[in-house]
Amino acid sequence: MTRLVAATIAFVTLLTLVASAQAAPYAQLSSSRNQLGSTTPTVVELDHNDAVKSITNTNGRITFEQAGAYFLMAAAQVGSVDGKGQGVVRLWMRTNGKDVANSNSEQTILPGFTAVLVTQGLAEIKAGDTMELAYSVSAPDEKLGLIASAPAGEPAVPSMIFSAFKVDDTAYAQLSSTETQIDAAGKTITLNSTDAAKDVENQAGVVTCKTAGTYLLMAAGQVGCTAAGEKGRVRIWMRQNGQDVSNSNSEQTVHAGFTAVLVCQGVVACKAGDRLEIVQSATGSGLGLVASTPAGEPSVPSLILSLVKVTDDAYAQLSSLEPQFSAWYEKLVRLDHTDAAQNVENAGRPMARSINKGTIAVQQDGVYFAIAAGQVGSAEGNGQGSVRLWLRKGGRDVEKSNAEQTIQGDYTTVLVTQGVGEAKAGSRFQLFHAATGTGVGLVAVEPKGEPAVPSMIFTMVRVD
Q: Are 255 and 157 in contact (CB under 8 A)?
A: no
Q: Is 353 helix (H, G, I), strand (E, B) or coil?
A: helix
Give the mean pLDDT of 375-389.
Answer: 93
Of the options 3.30.930.10, 2.60.120.40, 3.40.50.620, 3.30.230.10, the CATH number for the domain spanning 315-462: 2.60.120.40
> What is the C-alpha separation between 380 and 255, in angstroms, rounded?
19
At 284 the pLDDT is: 87
At 351 the pLDDT is: 41
With bands split at pLDDT 50, 70 and 90, how would you rate the model's confidence at 254?
very high
| 355 phi/psi in degrees, rounded to 5 | -120, 10
* 136 burial type by CB count under 10 A (0-12 exposed, 13-18 middle, 19+ buried): buried
Q: Please provide the size of the chain in residues.
A: 464
Give the mean pLDDT of 223-239.
Answer: 95
> What is the C-alpha separation between 31 and 400, in angstroms, rounded?
9
Decide which of 379 and 242 is more confident. Answer: 242
At 348 the pLDDT is: 61
With bands split at pLDDT 50, 70 and 90, how would you rate the model's confidence at 395?
confident
pLDDT per residue as tens digits for the range 258-310? 999 999 999 999 999 999 999 999 998 999 999 999 999 999 999 999 999 99
Q: Are 416 and 118 in contact (CB under 8 A)?
A: yes
The segment(s) of the chain belonging to CATH 2.60.120.40 are 24-310, 315-462
Q: Which residues of 35-51 are buried (b: 16+ CB within 10 A; e: fewer)?
A: bbbeeebbebbbebebb
Which H or E run contains 403?
Answer: strand 403-409
Residue 372 scores a pLDDT above 60: yes
At 381 the pLDDT is: 85
At 199 the pLDDT is: 97
Which residues touch 295 (CB under 8 Å, ≥6 apart)? none
Strands (E), 54-129: 55-58, 61-64, 68-80, 87-95, 98-99, 105-109, 115-125
Of the options 3.40.50.300, 3.40.50.10420, 2.60.120.40, 3.40.50.1970, the CATH number for the domain spanning 24-310: 2.60.120.40
In this structure, how many other beta carbons lie within 10 angstroms of the beta carbon of residue 215? 27
pLDDT per residue as tens digits for the range 68-92? 999 999 999 999 999 999 999 999 9
> What is the C-alpha separation between 234 and 225, in angstroms, rounded?
9
Residue 1 scores a pLDDT above 50: no
Q: What is the DSSP track for 150-208?
A: --TTS--B-SEEEEEEE--TTSEEEEEE-S-EES-EEEEPP--EEEEEESEEEETTEEE
| 386 phi/psi in degrees, rounded to 5 | -140, 150
Give the mean pLDDT of 433-457.
Answer: 96
Least confident stretch, 195-199, 289-293, 392-396, 432-436: 392-396
Residues in a beta bridge with 368: 462
For residues 13, 14, 16, 17, the Cα torsion angle rounded to the nearest 10 degrees is 100
Task: Say whether pTM exceeds 0.85.
Answer: yes
> What is the C-alpha separation between 147 and 6, in angstroms, rounded?
31
Least confident stretch, 18-22, 198-202, 353-357: 18-22
At 339 the pLDDT is: 95
pLDDT per residue as tens digits for the range 14-46? 344 333 446 789 999 999 999 999 999 999 999
pLDDT per residue as tens digits for the range 143-191? 999 999 999 999 999 999 999 999 999 999 999 999 999 988 899 999 9
Give the mean pLDDT of 230-255.
Answer: 97
**Mean pLDDT (the chain, rounded):** 92
Residue 96 scores a pLDDT above 50: yes
Q: Is 390 helix (H, G, I), strand (E, B) or coil?
A: strand
